[in-house]
């Protein structure tokens, strides 16, 4: 399959599996990836996802330009239908970890930017190179990159199409960790396990408060976070968390 899904416990492992094409996305893989995100979103057993690419060279290099046919409809029809098939399924409050194992270029970097936690191998490279082929980052990259990097660095990448290496990405805060390629998935599994072992409703509320709060004035964000705290206060999981702490045992979360 062009995109693989494996669920282990409460963790979904999603692999872009076209290493012969640097894990570029053709129409079939785009459709499959969106199906997977919707499955992850709707499966209550899944609490966190890890997204990576197959092979040692590439996370994802965006659209497969060689195998993507020219559009058959007007741009107006595509735009007004909100045609972004990769990202809509990613819009969920369950966390997504990007394990970036090589090139994250074009749409590949945009997909990584839509994830909540990004870790990389030492051979990772990051870039939005669309200006080199007379195009534009079409999956929100022009908006997300300046929010993820210092403005000067983001503008340099957007306007020149130049890429940055893993150590630069770490220095600028684009990724949280850089490890040897052999250790990347182990680290991803470690983070995923910690998230999956936390109370699922609390994790999702924390993501929602952080993501939405960034677009609010501080006092509004604080008020929204306090509202979410109140929503969580009477959940069964919060009662279980307090009880398990008092009894010195591992809590059994129900997501309720």
* Residues classed as catalytic: 110, 130
Place of tokens 């994790």: 203
Separation in Å, CA 163 to CA 20, 129, 155: 21, 8, 12
State how far the Cα of 94 lies from the Cα of 47, in Å rounded to an integer.
6
């Amino acid at each position: 399959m062009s995109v693989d899904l494996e669920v282990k416990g409460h963790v979904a492992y999603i692999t872009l599996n076209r290493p012969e094409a640097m894990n570029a996305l053709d129409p079939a893989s785009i459709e499959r990836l969106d199906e997977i995100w919707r499955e992850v979103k709707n499966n209550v057993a899944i609490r966190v996802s890890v997204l990576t690419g197959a092979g040692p060279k590439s996370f994802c290099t965006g659209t497969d330009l060689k195998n993507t046919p020219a559009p058959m409809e007007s741009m107006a029809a595509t735009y007004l239908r909100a045609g972004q098939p990769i990202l809509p399924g990613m819009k969920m409050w369950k966390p997504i970890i990007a394990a970036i194992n090589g090139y994250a270029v074009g749409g590949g970097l945009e997909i990584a930017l839509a994830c909540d936690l990004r870790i990389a191998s030492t051979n990772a490279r990051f870039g939005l190179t669309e200006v080199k082929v007379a195009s534009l980052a079409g999956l929100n990259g022009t908006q997300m990159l300046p929010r993820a990097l210092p403005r000067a660095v983001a503008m340099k990448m957007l306007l020149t199409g130049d890429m940055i290496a893993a150590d630069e990405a770490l220095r600028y805060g684009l990724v949280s960790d850089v490890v040897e390629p052999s250790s990347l998935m182990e680290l991803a599994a470690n983070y995923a396990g910690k998230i999956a072992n936390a109370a699922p409703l609390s994790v999702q509320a924390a993501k929602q408060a952080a993501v939405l709060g960034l677009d609010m004035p501080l006092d509004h964000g604080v008020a929204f976070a306090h509202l979410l705290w109140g929503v969580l206060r009477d959940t069964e999981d919060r009662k279980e968390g307090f009880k398990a702490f008092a009894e010195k045992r591992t809590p059994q979360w129900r997501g309720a």
